[in-house]
Amino acid sequence: MTPDRSRPNHSVTTPSKPVEPKTGVRHAKAGPRETGQRIDNYLLRELPGVPKSHVYRLLRSGQVRVNGGRVKPERKLAEGDEVRIPPVRMAEKGETVRPPDEVLNRLRAAVIHEDEHYLALDKPAGYASHGGSGLAYGVIEAIRAWEKYEFVELCHRLDRDTSGVLLLAKSRAALLRAQKAFKEGTTEKRYFALVVGRWKGEDRDVDAALVKAQLDNGERYTEVDDEDGKPSHSRFSPQARYRDATLCEVQIFSGRTHQIRVHALALGHPVAGDRKYGDRGFDKAIRDKGLKRMFLHSHFLKLAADGAFSKLLLSAAMPDELRDVLARLPGVR
């Protein structure tokens, strides 16, 4: 949950966090000294002070290129290789970072509900819920930059590559009401997920405890751990079946990090386009069908009535970019 703040915060400060300006791409050539050096280690040297997690994110997202092509962290350089290094700098301590107007306006257009207590967006894919871990800003920082609200906080989070309903509170009382509902599991949260492979049967529940872990390179992930993990429950309901994939509606009864993605993997049906837990072979093939992101969309959120707060129902239609992918998938023979 988002920690409470003692007072509203309209500015965004990012001590020692990378900020990506619009210009400044560098192209460097590997020399004799770099021959045999891994690209991740090369970048850590070339980008001093940038967190390892951000360096690996740059590699995963394809922003770093060698001789024009995407590379994995373990790729070793050869003399003469041309390395594209994206623009990354370190913000000075206390420096205010204002998201670009394009971002502010796009999020304004994404508002699907607003009342005296809450603001809800149909969050576009590609926008993190909040800044940090190498990101100068996220949705919450952008909304604060509107300078419209005395108080605004995230009630929950969506992964950066997940689109759909994202709820924010406009008062501390509204925030506490939402946090209580999420904690006690009295909310109803439903997603659409395209998963890899043909689904057998109908609804399937996953009760698999989840725990956060971290690789040696600093990359964080979530895994099933029945001994040390936190209880986690998801229900997958097939909606449409294709030759090599299945569209499911997923209801989650808990809100763990990467819950749907890890539970889908545990079922043997990873989410399409998931770069962390997915099937690389399938994802490479489905890119030809137009899938450029993870196929996960939060389409419905319900908060039950609680005291002075009335019932809240929010929905966001599946975006056209995902519908177009479904239209191109071959059906079951």
| Catalytic (active-site) positions | 159
Contact partners, residue 238, CB within 8 Å, separation at least 6: 199, 202, 203, 246, 247, 248
Which letter does DSSP use for residue 270 in this model?
Answer: P
Number of H helices, E strands in the chain: 8, 18
273 phi and psi angles, rounded to 5 deg: 80, 5
DSSP H or E stretch at residue 261? helix 259-266
221 phi and psi angles, rounded to 5 deg: -155, 175
How far is 175 from 167, CA to CA, in rounded Å?
Answer: 10
Give the closest residue to 330 by CA, choosing from 302, 288, 299.
288
Give the closest residue to 91 by CA, choosing from 126, 131, 58.
131
How far is 4 from 1, CA to CA, in rounded Å?
Answer: 9
